[in-house]
Amino acid sequence: MTSGLSIAVDGPAAAGKSTVARLLAERLGYRYVDTGAMYRALTLKALECGVAPDDPPALEALARSTVIAVEAGLRTVMDGRDVSEAIRSPEVSRAVSLVAMAPGVRRRMVEAQRSLAAGGGVVMEGRDIGTVVLPLADRKFFLTASSRERAARRHRELQDRGYRVDLAALEAEMALRDRLDSEREADPLTPAGDAVQVDTTGKGIEQVVGELLDLCRPGDGRR
């Protein structure tokens, strides 16, 4: 008897990963895990505690003393507090790539993520899921979209949350974050050799979810 596939969804910021991965999990009856939310929660704590986002040893110590739970992909709880909204702030977004560079932080996060995925029946979304966290995942997807479209999507999301941000500045900030995520030494953002790459530019969510669901049918995978 099998308890379901392990599905990795990676890609740069605002490529559509969260919405698509969440829906995919819903349709398959799987758990959805947003690993970016875990890095964001630690970043929020660092900002609140005055720990510099470019101080790896201090961040690693902070990670050791922080309890982060991602509940059904809907709520992120840090040390017992619901931080689901707070982790989406522009301040957290600006600092998170630096925090995610710290190798000690990554080691702890990867360990926690692997135990969340144990047993299968999971759609896990992030940057290094197919390459590092779940290298043996049953399906690996790498979502991309043009930088213009990704910035426009994130701009809409932030506006919906009540933040006023300049679109051009946001696009530049996201380009910097992608560069930091892709060029860092520990677990950089890069497609796994066996990932299916999906360009979501100009596509609706349902179309992308449908493409991925088709690839999740028995016999349609790469493994």
**CB contact at 8 A, 42 and 66:** yes
Contact with ligand DC (CB under 6 A) among 32, 39, 141, 142: 39
Q: Which of residues 118-137 bind ligand DC (CB under 6 A)?
A: 126-129
User: For ligand DC, what does the binding mask look like between residues 94 and 123, x meaning CB under 6 A?
Assistant: --xx--x-----------------------
Helix, strand or coil, per DSSP, at residue 93: helix
Instruction: Concatenate the DSSP letters of all residues of 23-92 into one string.
Output: HHHHHHT-EEEEHHHHHHHHHHHHHHHT--TT-HHHHHHHHHT--EEEETTTEEEETTEE-TTGGGSHHH
The answer to whether residue 177 forms part of the interface with ligand DC (CB under 6 A) is yes
Count of residues that bind ligand DC according to CB under 6 A: 14
Amino acid (1-letter code) at residue 112:
A
Q: At its nearest, how many Å lie between ligand DC and the CB of residue 104?
A: 13
Q: Which lies closer to ligand DC via its Cβ, residue 177 or residue 209?
A: 177
Q: At its nearest, how many Å lie between ligand DC and the CB of residue 129?
A: 6
Q: Work out the end-to-end distance of the chain between its first and last CA atoms, rounded to an integer number of angstroms.
A: 18
Give the residues lining the site for ligand DC (CB under 6 A).
13, 35-36, 39-40, 96-97, 100, 126-129, 177, 181
